[in-house]
Structure 1
Amino acid sequence: MRLAQWQSAFIHALEPHGSGDSLAQLVNEREQDRVEIYRNNAFQALLSALQLVFPVCQAVVGEICFTQLVRGYGQKHPLIDSHLNSYGQHFPQWLAQEVSQHAAFKELLYLPELAQLEWLLNQSYYAMDLDRFMQPPNCTLEQLAKLSEQAQLQAVLLLRPDLALLSCHYPVQEVWNRHNAQQELTEQMGSGTSYLLIHRERFKAQFSVIDATRMQLLNGLSAGQTLMQIADSEQDLNLLGELIERQWICGFRLAVEAD
């Protein structure tokens, strides 16, 4: 038996839609039973990982439904990275397709946005530390004052690496807050645009609700707009002081080096 042939058959048998036929020809019946155990253990590892990332989504739909959703997601998006912390990136988008296709989710149209909030909270927690982020060509705000006025206009202000922005059509922050307050999650969710800024404070990921004006400015900064471009767009530059004071803006880089 060639080792490469056995390895290929074993890996294929472990996949969610994998077939054990090829492996069955290479091992005895007892070993085939072990493959099924391995396959179940692999799924349980993925399920546990997504339960940690999306606990509120599971609370909303229930454990049985969530398990089936994870099984379907795993078939569409199998694990390709050994780091389980990065698994689940496409779950909100995949969930949006499921919600739109099944009448059982007609009262849970907010579920994909809730999943996106939970994913961004997870990513914020594991985001790069500020010290690692603030390496050349990134510069501190103190250095900005040393530039000429013309050079300052070409500066791209940098948001902290743990920050993320989320615009929601549903106030999913209310669902998240009710869950963490251990309140009932069965109320029907209304609609209404919400603007959330996800950030990490003292090793804990959280979010702040902001208004449309601040969201527009933060989106511009996130997109890499220079101070000149932001000024030309007639946004309120007075808000920059507040963002700096809250340490959401951590530094800058020059546009010629940002490309």
Structure 2
Amino acid sequence: MRLAQWQESFIDALRQGGSDEALLSLVEPAQGSRLDVYRNNSLQALTACLSLTFPISHELVGEACFSWLASDYIQTHPMIDSNLNCYGETFPLFLQEIIENWPEFEKLGYLAEVATLEWSLQLSYYAADSLDCQQIAQIAELSEEQHHDVVMRIRPDIFILKSSFPLYEIWLAHQHESSAIDYSSVEYFLSVSRDPFKPMVKPLSDQDFKLLDAIARGESLGEMAERELDMSPLQQWIVRGWVCGFTLKGQCIC
């Protein structure tokens, strides 16, 4: 049997809900009992991975509850990428389903959005340093007609978020920094950015959020102008390096 077949049967045996039939047919009966050890090690490794990626969520629910949540998630969302840093992308959605279906989580309505923030921090940490796009100064070389199709680009490590909960204050409180949590607003706006190496969370004004969110969603300058979006803060974000270049509408970013 080829090595690839051995590996596939081993992975299938370890996967939650998988079958160990193929692997057990290849090994001595006494060796088959060792599968439980590998399964447990796999579970522990993925649980630790989720705990490192979602430390605030872990703190909010406690050790026992988080272990239960992680175990359930691992069983229903098997790892499909060999890179552990990529595991947990759908954990916020999983938590939202738990909140909606389990009365015990009624008072933790913000948990899924906290996890969304934590996943953004994970993505920011491992994001590329730059984009393959044209430099801001090259806008001067475009025709007046082309200006309508200019799509500004945000640095890959930057994420723009909106929440119905004060996520910035919650995040700050779990950095062991004193912060009064204000629940008076209907919506809260914040950003995640890596500066210079560690991802950080910062609050945004409504005006800045609307502009940066439109850019992040790929709206062109013409489209933003047509819906009369206030673009006056754009210059400051260019100076800060958050808006790092541009493409033309329809141009592929590889």
> TM-score under structure 2 normalisation?
0.89
Alpha-carbon distance between aligned partners in 2 of 1:256 and 1:176, rounded to the nearest angstrom: 37
- Write out aligned runs for 1:172-211 (5 A): 172-181=167-176, 192-211=186-205
1:31 and 1:248, CA in 2 relative to 1: closer, same or farther beyond 3 A?
Answer: same
> Is this contact kept in 2: 1:171–1:192, CA < 8 A?
no
Structure 1 residue matching 2:194: 3-state secondary structure: strand
1:162 and 1:4, CA in 2 relative to 1: closer, same or farther beyond 3 A?
Answer: closer
Alpha-carbon distance between aligned partners in 2 of 1:156 and 1:5, rounded to the nearest angstrom: 47
State the partner residue of 1:14.
Answer: 14
Instruction: Give structure 2 stretches of 5+ with no counterpart.
Output: none
- Percent identity, please: 39
Aligned mate of 1:152, from 147, 153, 156: 147
Alpha-carbon distance between aligned partners in 1 of 2:85 and 2:48, rounded to the nearest angstrom: 11
Alpha-carbon distance between aligned partners in 2 of 1:39 and 1:183, rounded to the nearest angstrom: 41
> Is this contact kept in 1: 2:168–2:202, CA < 8 A?
no
Aligned mate of 2:212, from 208, 218, 224: 218
1:70 correspondence with 2:65: no
1:182 and 1:43, CA in 2 relative to 1: closer, same or farther beyond 3 A?
Answer: farther
State the partner residue of 1:95.
Answer: 95
Q: CA deviation at 1:192?
A: 3.3
> Is this contact kept in 2: 1:16–1:75, CA < 8 A?
yes
State the partner residue of 1:34.
Answer: 34
Q: CA deviation at 1:142?
A: 1.4
> Is this contact kept in 2: 1:171–1:190, CA < 8 A?
no
Aligned mate of 2:247, from 234, 244, 253: 253
Q: CA deviation at 1:3?
A: 7.3
Alpha-carbon distance between aligned partners in 1 of 2:142 and 2:191, rounded to the nearest angstrom: 30
Structure 2 residue matching 1:257: 3-state secondary structure: coil
For residues 200-225 of structure 1, the C-alpha deviation after alignment (integer angstroms, 9 at most, x for no partner) is 11111012111222111112111211
Question: Counterpart amino acid of 2:109?
Answer: L
Alpha-carbon distance between aligned partners in 2 of 1:112 and 1:198, rounded to the nearest angstrom: 17
RMSD over aligned Cα atoms = 2.6
> Is this contact kept in 2: 1:158–1:252, CA < 8 A?
yes
Question: Counterpart amino acid of 1:156?
Answer: V
State the partner residue of 1:119.
Answer: 119
- Write out aligned runs for 1:128-143 (5 A): 128-130=128-130, 133=131, 135=132, 138-143=133-138
* Aligned positions, number: 252
Range that drifts further, 121-130 or 175-184: 175-184
1:22 and 1:154, CA in 2 relative to 1: closer, same or farther beyond 3 A?
Answer: closer
Question: Counterpart amino acid of 1:255?
Answer: K
Q: CA deviation at 1:128?
A: 0.9
Q: CA deviation at 1:22?
A: 5.5
1:183 and 1:154, CA in 2 relative to 1: closer, same or farther beyond 3 A?
Answer: closer
Alpha-carbon distance between aligned partners in 2 of 1:257 and 1:25, rounded to the nearest angstrom: 53
Alpha-carbon distance between aligned partners in 2 of 1:157 and 1:64, rounded to the nearest angstrom: 45
Structure 2 residue matching 1:253: 3-state secondary structure: strand
